[in-house]
């Protein structure tokens, strides 16, 4: 399958940034994976478009737009589509069915994220003067701490193809459920177990999403209420780098 695999060393020379702890967006290798065994691939043959595999979801691909913590369309996002491994997409389809039974739809912000996009994040984080989106996504933080505090890192679990960022859309009200915090907010407010000044309804809404995803084979991240990875992901040691585009997965 992996006709175009290159070793991580080739990518590391380009990225040249290290961070050991994950929070918003980063999700680097921190799960005991042997760094020496990691590979990078441009083979999209085991990926599918969620528009085809899970048609009953709403797509709002933030990194194709300019409404994200960078403030620009992110490199590698060539179309406003969402891609995942076939295995993750199949599990997400089950989750979408469960959500529909409860009166909701899944709304997807991000799924597969190419390494090219992660490198874009790294370049942005190194430009300390670019704070256009600070008031929306990291008002409590100075941009200079994003590496040290793990909000930006040189790898993302999204690049393994089985991670999704999402929320719930209430079909009765025609609105997203109130989660008490926005997608990609850098701070404690985004932690799934944060209660702080959240209302009972906001806490309950987070739990509804969490329960749906856990019941369908996904595991959460302890720093982001919107982030879930297929527990039995097919490529735990492979990071992919092909464009987010329907063309990437067309046979």
Asked if residue 16 has pLDDT above 90, the reply is: no
Please report, in angstroms and rounded to a whole number, the separation of the first and last CA atoms in the chain.
Answer: 14
Write down the pTM of the prediction.
Answer: 0.86
The answer to whether 224 is a known catalytic residue is yes
Residue with tokens 């850098």: 186
pLDDT for the residue numbered 178: 98
Q: What is the mean pLDDT of residues 214-235?
A: 97
**Given the residues 224, 233, 247, 250, the one annotated as active site:** 224
Arch. (CATH architecture) of 6-249: 2-Layer Sandwich (3.30)
Q: What is the pLDDT of residue 103?
A: 97
Query: Does the structure show a pLDDT above 50 at 239?
Result: yes
Tell me what pLDDT residue 37 has. 73
Domain boundaries defined on the chain: 6-249
Read off the pLDDT of residues 21-78 as tens digits, 9 standing for 90 and up.
Answer: 233 455 543 333 445 578 999 999 999 999 999 999 999 999 999 999 999 999 999 9
């Amino acid at each position: 399958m992996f006709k175009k695999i290159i070793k991580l060393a080739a990518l590391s020379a380009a990225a040249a940034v290290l961070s050991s702890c994950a929070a918003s967006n980063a999700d680097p290798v921190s799960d005991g994976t042997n760094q020496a065994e990691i590979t990078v691939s441009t083979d999209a043959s085991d990926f599918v478009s969620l528009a085809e595999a899970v048609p009953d979801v709403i797509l709002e691909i933030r990194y194709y737009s300019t409404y994200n913590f960078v403030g620009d369309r992110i490199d590698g996002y060539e179309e406003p589509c969402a891609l995942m491994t076939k295995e993750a997409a199949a599990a997400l389809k089950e989750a979408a069915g469960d959500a529909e039974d409860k009166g909701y739809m899944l709304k997807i912000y991000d799924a597969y994220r190419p390494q090219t996009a992660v490198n874009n994040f790294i370049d942005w984080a190194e430009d300390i003067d670019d704070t256009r989106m600070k008031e929306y996504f990291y008002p409590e933080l100075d941009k200079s701490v994003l590496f040290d505090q793990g909000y930006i890192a040189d790898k993302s679990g999204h690049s393994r193809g089985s991670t999704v960022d999402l929320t719930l859309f209430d079909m009765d009200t025609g609105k997203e459920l109130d989660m008490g915090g926005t997608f990609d907010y850098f701070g404690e407010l985004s932690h799934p177990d944060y209660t702080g000044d959240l209302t009972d309804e906001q806490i309950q809404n987070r739990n509804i999403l969490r329960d749906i995803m856990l019941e369908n084979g996904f595991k959460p991240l302890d720093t982001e209420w919107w982030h879930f990875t297929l527990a039995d992901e097919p490529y735990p040691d492979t990071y992919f780098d092909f464009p987010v585009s329907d063309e990437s997965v067309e046979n």
